[in-house]
Chains A and B, each alone.
Chain A
Amino acid sequence: MTTHTDAEQPGREPVDESPGEAGTPPAPAATSRWRETLGILVRNRLALFALVVLGVLLLAGLTGPYVAPYGFNEVVVEDRLEAPSSAHLFGTDNLGRDVFSRVLLGARVSILVGVVAVGISLTVGTLFGLVAGFYGGKIDDGIMRLMDVLFAFPALLMAIAVLAILGPGTVNAMVAIGIVYTPIFARVTRGSVLSVREADFVRAARSIGAGDVRLAGLHVLPNVLAPIIVQTSVSLAFAILSEAALSFLGLGTQPPNPSWGRMLSEGRAFIQQAWWIAVFPGLAIFFTVLSFNVLGDALRDVLDPRQKSAIESRGMSA
C-alpha cells in the first residue's frame, strides 16, 4: 500500500532532525531532548498558538471556580437572555446564568474527560500493543483480532452503545470514550514495537540476562514513545470532541453541570433570540480541538515524521 508523505506544510518550521527514530537506543540526555523538542515547538508559530490556547484552557480548568465572575448555576431570572455586555461578557442563558462563567467551568469538564478517557486508552492500548508486538505469535493474533473487532464500530456509535449499557453521565462518558480509542493506541504501539524488538540494544540486554518485563518496560517502551505521544495529543482532540457530542445528545454530562456540548444543546432552542448561548461554547470546543490537532501535527513533525498527520489518522479510522 502506498504511504502518504506529508510534504512540508505551509506555516510549519521545516525540521530536519528526527529524534526518537525507532531503533535508536535510549538517548543519554533525555532532558535536553525534551528541551530541544519544546524549543522547536515554540519556534513554530502555529504550535506556539496552540500551546498558548491550551495553557489558557488549563488555567481556566484549574482556577475556574475561583475566577469565574458568577456561579455556574447561579440563576437570576430577571437577567435571562441578556446580550453580551460588560456585566456578562458572553451574555446570559435562558435561566439568567452567566455564559462566560459556564464556559470557563466547562473547560474543567472537557479537560477532565479528555485526560481520563485518553489516560484509559493510553494505558490499556499501549499495554496491549506492547504485549502483542513484544511476544508476537498467537498472543499478538489474539489481542489484535480483538482490537479489530472494536475497530469495526464507528467511534461515536460505539461510545453511544457503551453508554446505553452504563447509563449517561460524565464518568461513564470517560469510560466509553476510553474504550473507543484503545485500539488506536494498541495499533500504534504494536507497529513501533515490532520495529524495535529485534534492535541490537534489545538483543544485548537480553544476552546479559534481562527478563521480559525489564526488556519490554525499560528497553522497548522508551523507544516507542514518540508515536504514542503524538497519538495522545490527537486523541485528546477527538476525546474532547466526542464528549461534547455525547453531552449534546444528552448522554454525557448531565444538567445542571456545565459542559460545552450540553450548553450548545440547551442554547439551540433559543438560537433566534440569543445566539450567544450556543456560539461561545462552540468556539471554546473549536479552539481547544484545533489546538490539540495543531500540537499533534507539530509534535509529529518533530518526534515522528513518518507517522500520519492528525487529519490523515482520522481519515483512516473514520
Chain B
Amino acid sequence: MAGYLARRGLQAVGVLLGVSVLVFAIIHLVPGDPVRLALGTRFDQETYEALRQRAGLDQPLVLQYFDWIGRALTGDLGVSFRSGRTVMSMIVERLPATLSLAAAAIVVALLIALPLGTLSAVRQGSKLDYAATTFSQAGISIPDFWMGILLILFFSLQLDLLPPSGYVSVLESPWGWFTHLLMPAVTVGVVSGSILTRFVRSSVLESLGEDFTRTARSKGLRERRVIRRHVLRNALVPVVTVTGLQLAYLLSGVVVVEAVFAWPGLGRLALDAVLARDYPVLQGAVLLFALFFLLVNLTVDVLYAFLDPRIRY
C-alpha cells in the first residue's frame, strides 16, 4: 500500500510538472505580444513596461519558467493584466461560489442517482428500469446551458418562483444563497446524476449476482436487509470513484453553467480572462483546475484502496 501511494504520488507530481509546462506555454504561444494585446486601446508605455517586467517576460525563457513555477509554488500566480490585482486574490474571491455550486450539484446528483440506480437494478427489466435508462441517456445528451435557460424560462420568468441569475453569499442571506443556488445546482446535478445513475445501476447489478448476496438470501434475510447491508455496501465502492471524478469535473468544468446563471465562480473567471486576454489570470485558473483534478483523482484512488480491502496494488 505504501509503495502504491508513493508510486501514485510520484506519477501525479510528474503529470503536474507536464501540466505546468503547458500552462506556462499559454502566454508564449499567443501570436504577438500578450501584454500589448491585453492592453489594447488602453496602451501606455509605462504600464506596458511595468506589466512585462512583473510577468517576467523580459527574461530568457528557461529562467522565466523556473521563476514562474517557483512563485506559483509559494502561491504567487502573478498579477492581472487588466485589474492589476494579484491572480491569487481573484481566485480566492471566486472560490466560495464555485465550492457551493459544486457541493450542491453533487448532492443533487447523488439524490437522483442512488435511489434511481438502485431501484432500476433491483427491478431490472421493469418500466422503472426503462425510465431510468432513458433518463440517463437523455441527461448526458442534453446541453446543460440549454437546460439552464429552460429552467430560467419556467421557474423564473413564467412562475416567478426563483431568481433567474446571480449569487448571494451564505453569510449575507442564507435563504437568498439557497434560492440563487437551486437552479444552477439542479442544472449541473442532473447531468452528473444521469452519469452516476448508470454507474450505480451496473454496480448494484454486479453485486446482486455475487456469492455473498446469494449467501445472505439463503440465510433467510429479508430482501430489504440483503439490499441495504450486503448489496449496497459493496456496490457503492466503485460509485465513490466516479462521484470523485464528477466532483473534479464540477469544480472546474461548469464554465458554461456559470455563464448562464451569471454565477461568479472560477469557471467564469477563466472565461472572462480569455475574453479579456488576461493571460496571467487564465494561467492561474487553469493551473488550479488541473491541480484540483489531479488531487481529486489521487484521493479517489487512495480512498478506493482503503474502501475495498480486496484491492491489492
Known A264-B145, A271-B149, A286-B146: A157·B199 in contact at CB below 8 Å: no
Decide if A218 is an interface residue (CB 8 Å cutoff).
no
Contact of A309 among B19, B26, B198 (CB under 8 A): B198
A77 contacts partner chain B, Cβ-Cβ < 8 Å: no
| B256-A249 in contact (CB<8A) | yes
Query: Residues of B with Cβ closer than 8 Å to A?
Result: 11, 14-16, 18-19, 22, 26, 29-30, 124-125, 129-130, 133-134, 136-138, 140-143, 145-146, 149-150, 152-153, 157, 194-196, 198-199, 202-203, 205-206, 237-238, 242, 245-246, 248-249, 252-253, 255-256, 259-260, 267, 270-271, 273-275, 277, 279, 282, 286, 289-290, 293-294, 304, 308, 311
Candidates A11, A249, A318; contact of B246 at CB < 8 Å: A318
Q: Known contacts A6-B202, A264-B149; is A318 also within 8 Å of B245 by CB?
A: yes
Q: CB distance A161 to B286 under 8 Å?
A: yes
- Is the beta-carbon distance between B143 and A315 smaller than 8 angstroms? no
Q: Nearest Cβ in chain B — how far from A202, in angstroms?
A: 30
A292 to B, closest residue via Cβ: B141
Name the interface size band of chain A: 35 or more
Set of chain B residues within 8 Å of A10, measured between Cβ atoms? 125, 129-130, 133
Residue of B nearest to A251 (CB): B274
Q: Which 8 A-B pairs have the closest CB atoms?
A: A149-B18, A318-B249, A282-B146, A290-B141, A154-B253, A289-B141, A10-B130, A315-B195
Q: Are B198 and A152 in contact (CB under 8 A)?
A: no
B143 touching A153, Cβ below 8 Å: no
Q: In the complex, are the beta carbons of A4 and B199 less than 8 A apart?
A: yes
Given contacts A152-B293, A154-B253, 12 further A-B contacts (CB under 8 A): A8-B125, A11-B134, A156-B256, A157-B267, A245-B256, A248-B145, A249-B256, A271-B157, A272-B153, A310-B140, A311-B195, A318-B245
Are A290 and B282 within 8 A (Cβ)?
no
Contact A7 B255 (CB under 8 A): no
Residue of B nearest to A317 (CB): B245
> Scoring A residues 129 to 170 as 1 if CB is less than 8 Å from chain B, else 0, what string do you get?
000000000000000011011001111110011011100000
A106 → B minimal CB distance (Å): 13
User: Contact at A7–B202, with CB atoms within 8 Å?
Assistant: yes
A244 at the binding interface (Cβ < 8 Å): yes
CB–CB A249/B137 < 8 A: no
Residue in B closest to A159 when the chains form the complex, CB atoms: B255
Residue of B nearest to A318 (CB): B249
A275 touching B153, Cβ below 8 Å: yes
Q: Write out the residue numbers on chain B whose beta carbons fall within 8 Å of the beta carbon of A149.
A: 15, 18-19, 22
Contacts of B18 on A, CB cut-off 8 Å?
145-146, 148-149, 152
| Max chain B C-beta neighbours (<10 A), residue from A9, A161, A272, A282 | A161
Q: Return the chain B residue nearest A264 by Cβ.
A: B146
Question: Given that A248-B145, A264-B146, A264-B149 are known contacts, is A160 also in contact with B137, CB under 8 Å in the complex?
Answer: no
Knowing A165-B26, A250-B275, A312-B198, the reply to whether A2 touches B143 (Cβ < 8 A) is: no
CB pair B252 A272 closer than 8 Å: no
Specify which of A2, A164, A275 is in contact with B26 (CB 8 Å cutoff). Answer: A164
Q: Closest residue to B20 on the A side, CB-wise?
A: A149
Which A residues are closer than 8 A to B by beta carbons?
A: 1-2, 4-11, 145-146, 148-149, 152-157, 160-161, 163-165, 237, 241, 244-245, 248-251, 261, 264, 268, 271-272, 275, 278-279, 282, 285-286, 289-290, 293-294, 297, 309-312, 314-316, 318
Q: Which one, B246, B267, B282, contacts A315 given CB within 8 A?
A: B246
Is A318 in contact with B248, judged by CB distance below 8 angstroms?
A: yes
What's the Cα separation between A157 and B249 when bound, in Å? Answer: 10
In the assembled complex, the Cα of A314 lies from the Cα of B191 at a distance in Å of 11
A245, B145: Cβ atoms under 8 Å? Answer: yes
Known: A161-B282, A165-B29, A285-B143. A5 touches B157 (CB 8 A): no
Which residues on the B side are within 8 Å of A278 (C-beta)?
A: 146, 149, 153
Evaluate contact between A290 and B245: CB separation under 8 angstroms: no
User: Closest CB-CB distance, A235 to chain B, in whole Å?
Assistant: 13
Are B157 and A311 in contact (CB-based, < 8 A)? no
By a CB distance below 8 angstroms, the chain A residues around B145 are 245, 248, 261, 264
